Each structure stands twice: as structure tokens, then as C-alpha cells.
């Protein structure tokens, strides 16, 4: 009898210790490969490799951009367009920019590649093209490699219960009633990947982990599918650094071009290419989230808020962007629906982030002066935390927000504190411990 009671006591103690580890210790979780929900990574803008192939329709912008460049291609003519180190050299920067440029066809109401340029993402379904943007330069072009390594330590295996969803990040989505061939195909491919990942893992629902722009795509996917599908196939959605309301930094990109920190690159050479990106239009500050009275760009002639985007596009010399912005983007971002899927937003804070641009002489070819505010260095706090405000009255939407002090937009994928938070959250989700709370927003500030 005493032995029986002792066994009960030991079993009860183990259960209590397990529960305490789940609730009290962020980075402690008891998981095995068998109880892991399948997980899919969705990268951000520029967060996966992109390949191109030139056809006979291709007309080089300069002699140096002749189809022979780059000289080293695969046997079938495909080569890595993003990221290619030759972009650092000005003549080749122009080749890169012309091949990356999209064109909006008003008659067809959609965006297309430059004539003669075919593009594709390598190995959809695998994390391969998300790890490094240039596998030959792993140290300087690593992207999701640290996160994937942490997931592997948890028991995830690429192609078995861990998957990647790379996409052509230049393209975006459009409001209902407008074609969006490339973006819509990606949503469909992602939907099929979710279903296959679930079916191949015993019917377990999937955990979706996105970074930056990938979060906007995932939210659209969830809201464009019925509730029954979401409940069956999606366990949880973790959004890292999601720019729900766009960024002021995107206005800088449109106005002056953005070298994105790549050394030696003249931002004016890539500006037209960046303006042509459909996804960049999607990332302009959302007038529903940014104060109408708050100037984001200031010049001697006038100020521009998020509500003045049409005039802004005209005045910077990009009037061709006005029509697709007004007809395709504004209706798309007018309302952000709650998908009634459990969501965790993990964001950085306390990093100097462009909040207002000052063009003292009104010349957009010259870099502006910056007024900085709070955010993750790229995305403003009002955008990172937008869902808290938008969904505060949603009774059936579970939303958790984790804020990490001093973590930037991209370092969230590498920083040890951030990785511990991400892996800890994934472990808790896999543990199936439910707090039974809905319509509640948690915030963990100054995580260290």
C-alpha cells in the first residue's frame, strides 16, 4: 500500500513539475518529435532566393547586360537573381535592377515581369532557399538559418515536419475583383502545402511562422478560406515583425531609393525597380492606422501624411503608381479581418525607427534627414501593434503580443533572446496546454 502511494506521489510530482516548466520557464518544454505539430516558415520581403532565366524576348538595357551575364548559369539557363554579389558593382546593379523591375498593365490590371525575364523560387516546400540568400556567403547572407537550427534542436526535420514557403516577394495581392496572378498562386500553393504537411503528420494542424511581409500573406490566406478549413488545418499563427500597417521607411524607399544596407549600391539606380514592386505599394503606411494629422514626409512645399499617398506618389515622380495604389491596394488594406485563429505577434521595440522624413530643399534625389521614433528599426510601433487596437472588441480572436527590447526587424531571426522566445512559444503550442482565454492580449516587455 505504501509503495502504491509512493508511486502516486512520484507521478503527481512529475506532472506538477512539468506544468510548472510550461507555465513559468519560457525556454523549458518537454516535447518529442512525435508530438510536434508540423511547422511552415514564410519569409519576408527579400527573405528567400529568387532565380531568373532570360528568353529571346529579353532586351538588355546596356551592352554589359547582354544575356551572357552572369556567365555562370545552370545547364537549363537559370541563375540566382537574388541575392547576387555582382549587384555591388554599379554596371551590374543596373542589370539587376532592370531584370527585377515589374510592369503594371492597366488593361490587364495586373503586374508582370520585364519582357524576356522568367523568374521562379527554388525548392518550394523546403527551407533551403530561406537559410541563406547566397549559399557561398553564408556568414553575411544568412537569413532563417539560425531559426531553422533552433527548430532542428527541438526535433523538427526539413521535409518531414518542417517546411518552407518561399515566394516571389516583388509581387503582392490585390483587393477582391482584381487579378493578382502571382500572389494568388502563392496563396494557393501555400494552402496546398499546409494541407499536405498536416496530412503527412497524422492530421495534426500546422503552426505557421512568418517574418515581416510573410505575415500579411498569411493573414490574407486565413481570411480567404472558410472557418472550417482554418480549424482543421491551422493550429497557431506566429507573426514575427509583421508590418500590419506598413512603414514610414517604405516612403523613404519610394522617394529616394533604398540600398537596404548593401554597401556600394547607389540607391537611385535601384529606385525605379523598388517603386515598381507591387509588394512595396502594399507596405506603404496604412491611412487606417497612421494619424491623418501626423506628417510622415516634410518638404518646403507641403507635408504628406498616410492620407496623402496619392499626392506623394505624384510629387516624387511616380504617377504611374497612383492607379494601382488607389484601385488595388487601398481597398485591400481598408479592413483587416480577425481570422479567429490563435495568433502570437513577436516584435522588437526600442530601436530607432524612421518616423518622419525631412527633405529640406524638396529634392527627393537627396537623402532626407530623419526623425526617429519607436519600433524595430524598420517597422513603426503603431504598425507592429496594430492588431491590438483593431481587434480589441473581437470576442473570438485570441491575440498574444511579445515585445522584445532592442531587437531589430531582421535580428529577431538571429538574436538569442528572440530565438528563445520564439522556440519557447512553439514549445508551448506543441504542448497542447491551453489557458482557455480569448480576446486577451498579453505583452512581455523588455524581454532579456
pLDDT digits (tens, 9 = 90+) for 389-405: 999 999 999 999 999 99
Separation between Cα atoms, residue 343 and residue 399, nearest integer Å: 5
pLDDT of residue 61: 81
* Number of C-beta neighbours around residue 325 at 10 A: 18
Closest among 338, 323, 329, 324 to 306, alpha carbons compared: 329
Lowest mean pLDDT among 262-271, 369-378, 432-441: 432-441
pLDDT at 13 over 60: no
The answer to whether position 213 is within a domain reads yes
The answer to whether position 23 is within a domain reads no
Average pLDDT over every residue of 332-352? 97
Q: What is the dihedral of CA 133, 96, 56, 45, to 10 degrees?
A: 50
pLDDT of residue 387: 98
338: left (phi over 0), alpha (psi -120 to 50) or beta: beta
pLDDT at 165 over 60: yes
pLDDT at 10 over 50: no
Query: Predicted confidence band at 29 (pLDDT cuts at 50, 70, 90)?
Result: very low
Grid coordinates in use for 306?
A: 498616410
pLDDT at 82 over 50: yes
The answer to whether position 26 is within a domain reads no
* Number of C-beta neighbours around residue 77 at 10 A: 12
Separation between Cα atoms, residue 128 and residue 43, nearest integer Å: 12
Separation between Cα atoms, residue 219 and residue 339, nearest integer Å: 7
Separation between Cα atoms, residue 113 and residue 107, nearest integer Å: 15
Average pLDDT over every residue of 134-163? 96
The set of residues, in sequence order, having a beta carbon less than 8 Å from that of 119 and lying 6+ positions away, is 50, 51, 52, 53, 81, 113, 168
Separation between Cα atoms, residue 88 and residue 82, nearest integer Å: 12
Helical (H) or strand (E) element with 208: strand 206-211
Separation between Cα atoms, residue 307 and residue 292, nearest integer Å: 6
Average pLDDT over every residue of 361-385? 97
Q: What is the dihedral of CA 137, 143, 146, 148, to 10 degrees?
A: -110
pLDDT digits (tens, 9 = 90+) for 50-73: 999 999 999 988 888 888 888 778
pLDDT digits (tens, 9 = 90+) for 178-232: 999 999 999 999 999 999 999 999 999 999 999 999 999 999 999 999 999 999 9
Mean pLDDT of all residues belonging to the chain = 90
3-state SS class at 27 = coil
Separation between Cα atoms, residue 157 and residue 153, nearest integer Å: 9
3-state SS class at 222 = helix
Tell me if 209 sits within 8 A of 240, measured CB to CB. yes
The answer to whether position 201 is within a domain reads yes
Residues identified as active-site: 212, 376, 409
The answer to whether position 263 is within a domain reads yes
DSSP letters of 309-357? HHHHHHHTT-GGGHHHIIIIIHHHHS-----SS-EEEEEEESB-EEEEE
Average pLDDT over every residue of 69-82? 87
Separation between Cα atoms, residue 130 and residue 280, nearest integer Å: 20
The answer to whether position 19 is within a domain reads no
Name the DSSP class of 39: E
pLDDT of residue 9: 41
| Residue 370 structural domain | 36-444
- Percent of the chain whose predicted confidence (pLDDT) is above 70: 89
The set of residues, in sequence order, having a beta carbon less than 8 Å from that of 266 and lying 6+ positions away, is 90, 93, 257, 259
404 half-sphere exposure, CB direction, 13 A CA radius = 25
pLDDT of residue 17: 38
Average pLDDT over every residue of 18-26? 41
Question: Domain total for the chain?
Answer: 1
Tell me if 248 sits within 8 A of 354, measured CB to CB. yes
The answer to whether position 398 is within a domain reads yes
Cell 526535420 belongs to residue: 157
The answer to whether position 7 is within a domain reads no
pLDDT at 290 over 90: yes
* Residues making up the chain, counted from first to last: 448
Taking every pair of Cα atoms in the chain, the longest distance, rounded to a whole number of angstroms, is: 91
pLDDT at 445 over 50: no
Name the DSSP class of 163: E
Burial of 319 (0-12, 13-18, 19+ CB in 10 A): exposed
Grid coordinates in use for 339?
A: 481570422
pLDDT of residue 162: 98
Grid coordinates in use for 286?
A: 496604412
> What CATH number is associated with residue 67?
3.40.50.1820
Q: Return the bridge partners of 207, or none.
A: 39, 236
Amino acid at each position: 500500500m505504501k509503495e502504491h502511494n509512493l508511486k502516486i506521489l512520484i507521478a503527481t510530482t512529475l506532472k506538477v513539475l512539468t506544468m510548472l516548466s510550461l507555465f513559468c520557464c519560457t525556454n523549458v518544454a518537454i516535447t518529442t518529435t512525435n508530438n510536434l505539430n508540423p511547422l511552415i516558415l514564410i519569409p519576408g520581403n527579400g527573405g528567400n532566393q529568387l532565380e531568373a532565366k532570360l528568353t529571346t524576348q529579353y532586351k538588355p538595357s546596356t551592352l554589359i547586360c547582354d544575356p551572357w551575364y552572369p556567365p555562370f548559369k545552370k545547364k537549363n539557363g537559370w541563375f540566382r537573381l537574388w541575392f547576387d554579389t555582382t549587384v555591388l558593382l554599379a554596371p551590374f546593379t543596373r542589370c539587376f535592377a532592370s531584370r527585377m523591375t515589374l510592369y503594371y498593365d492597366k488593361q490587364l490590371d495586373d503586374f508582370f515581369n520585364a519582357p524576356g525575364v522568367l523568374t521562379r523560387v527554388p525548392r518550394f516546400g523546403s527551407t533551403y532557399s530561406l537559410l541563406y540568400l547566397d549559399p557561398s556567403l553564408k556568414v553575411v547572407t544568412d537569413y532563417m538559418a539560425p531559426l531553422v537550427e533552433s527548430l532542428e534542436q527541438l526535433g523538427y526535420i526539413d521535409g518531414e515536419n518542417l517546411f518552407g514557403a518561399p515566394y516571389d516577394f516583388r509581387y503582392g495581392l490585390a483587393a477582391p475583383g482584381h487579378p493578382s496572378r502571382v500572389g494568388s498562386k502563392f496563396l494557393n500553393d501555400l494552402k496546398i502545402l499546409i494541407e499536405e504537411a498536416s496530412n503527412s503528420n497524422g492530421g495534426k494542424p500546422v503552426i505557421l511562422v512568418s517574418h515581416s511581409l510573410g505575415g500579411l500573406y498569411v493573414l490574407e490566406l486565413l481570411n480567404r478560406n472558410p472557418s472550417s478549413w482554418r480549424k482543421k488545418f491551422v493550429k497557431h499563427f506566429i507573426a514575427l515583425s509583421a508590418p500590419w500597417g506598413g512603414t514610414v521607411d517604405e516612403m523613404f524607399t519610394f522617394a529616394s531609393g533604398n540600398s537596404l544596407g548593401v554597401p556600394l549600391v547607389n540607391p537611385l539606380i535601384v529606385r525605379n525597380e523598388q517603386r515598381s514592386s507591387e509588394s512595396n505599394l502594399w507596405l506603404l503606411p496604412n491611412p487606417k492606422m497612421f494619424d491623418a494629422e501626423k506628417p510622415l514626409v516634410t518638404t518646403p512645399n507641403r507635408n504628406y501624411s498616410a492620407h496623402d499617398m496619392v499626392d506623394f506618389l505624384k510629387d516624387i515622380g511616380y504617377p504611374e503608381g497612383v492607379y494601382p495604389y488607389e484601385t488595388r491596394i487601398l481597398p485591400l488594406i481598408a479592413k483587416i479581418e480577425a481570422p479567429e485563429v490563435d495568433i502570437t505577434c513577436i516584435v522588437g521595440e526600442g530601436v530607432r525607427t524612421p518616423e518622419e522624413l525631412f527633405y529640406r530643399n524638396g529634392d527627393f534625389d537627396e537623402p532626407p534627414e530623419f526623425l526617429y521614433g519607436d519600433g524595430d528599426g524598420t517597422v513603426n510601433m503603431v504598425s507592429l501593434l496594430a492588431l491590438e487596437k483593431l481587434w480589441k472588441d473581437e470576442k473570438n480572436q485570441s491575440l498574444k503580443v511579445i515585445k522584445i527590447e532592442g531587437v531589430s526587424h531582421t535580428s529577431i531571426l538571429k538574436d538569442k533572446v528572440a530565438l528563445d522566445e520564439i522556440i519557447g512559444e512553439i514549445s508551448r503550442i506543441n504542448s497542447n496546454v491551453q489557458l482557455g482565454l480569448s480576446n486577451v492580449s498579453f505583452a512581455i516587455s523588455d524581454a532579456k
